[in-house]
Amino acid sequence: MTVNIDGKNYTYDDSARWLVQIGKNSSRYQTKYSFSTPHQAMFYYNSINIGRGYKKRLTLDINGVMTKVARMAS
């Protein structure tokens, strides 16, 4: 399956996991949510309000290979 996010095409299969990750300042990211569809992941990614040094990113995990899809920092 293929999905277009921000003008880029991402190909994924049934084993792919969409991860919404949160971090603060220079600390590393921690997975907050994990989804099997990109639509659910984008909904939660867009719903997270960041500020005061927090950051968020959306990644695609296919068999251990992580691909950054979107990232935002305050």
Structural domain spans, the chain: 2-73
C-alpha to C-alpha distance for 74 and 72, rounded to whole angstroms: 7
Helix (H, G, I), strand (E, B) or coil at 39: helix
Dihedral of CA 66/59/69/3: which sign?
A: positive
Average pLDDT over residues 48-58: 95
- With a threshold of 0.75, does the pTM exceed it? yes
Which position has the token pair 């990113």? 57
Percent of the chain scored above 70 by pLDDT? 100
Residue 60: CB atoms within 10 Å: 20
In this predicted model, what pLDDT tens digit does every residue of 7-36 receive, in sequence order? 999 999 999 999 999 999 999 999 999 999
CB atoms within 10 A of CB 56: 21
